[in-house]
Copies of this chain bind each other. A is one copy, B any other.
Amino acid sequence: MDDSARHLPPHRLRVRYAETDQMGVAHHAAYLPWLEEARIVALGQLGFAYRHCEEQGLFMPVHALEISYRRPLRFDDEVEIRTWIAALGRTRLCFTSTLHRDDDLIAEAVVRVAATDTGGRICRLPEALLTAIAC
């Protein structure tokens, strides 16, 4: 974990029925929208409404992710997602998350996003966001 990573308050959600598969557990693809929701809440806690961000022409597409699934989740399980956020230079953010059910580590993930403009070109993260993360 980068020294400058900001640890943010945890985000909680419950596994939806539609997110299970015939193995009887949450499908591995379901974790990505959860991580995205946790990132968006995390940015909000730093004072950045991602909703307004896109309205102003700044996008943050995912360009890489890694995830390790340690234990399965079942329907209706409550998951806690703990997220750290770090800037990688002036154009990228790296989110490291761990997912927990009570005391069990469920999964670990690293998601890298890049700031882009409406044309899909890499651009600088807003100065205020860089400042907020660095604090």
Contacts and interface: CB of A to CB of B under 8 A. Distances in A.
Interface stretch (A20-28, A79-87, A90-98, A127-135): A20-28
Main secondary structure of the interface of A (DSSP, over half): mixed
Given A29-B32, A33-B29, A21 B18 contact: yes
Copy number of this protein in the oligomer?
Answer: 4
A4 interface: no
A36 interface: yes
Residues of A in contact with B, size category: 35 or more
A40 interface: yes
A45 interface: no
A29 B28 contact: no
Contact of A33 (B17, B25, B61, B69): B17
Contacts of A63: 68-69
Interface in A42-88: 49-51, 54, 59, 61-69, 72, 74-76
23 contacts: A17-B33, A17-B40, A17-B50, A18-B21, A18-B36, A21-B21, A22-B22, A22-B54, A28-B65, A29-B29, A29-B36, A32-B32, A40-B76, A49-B76, A51-B76, A61-B72, A62-B69, A63-B68, A63-B69, A64-B67, A64-B68, A65-B66, A66-B66
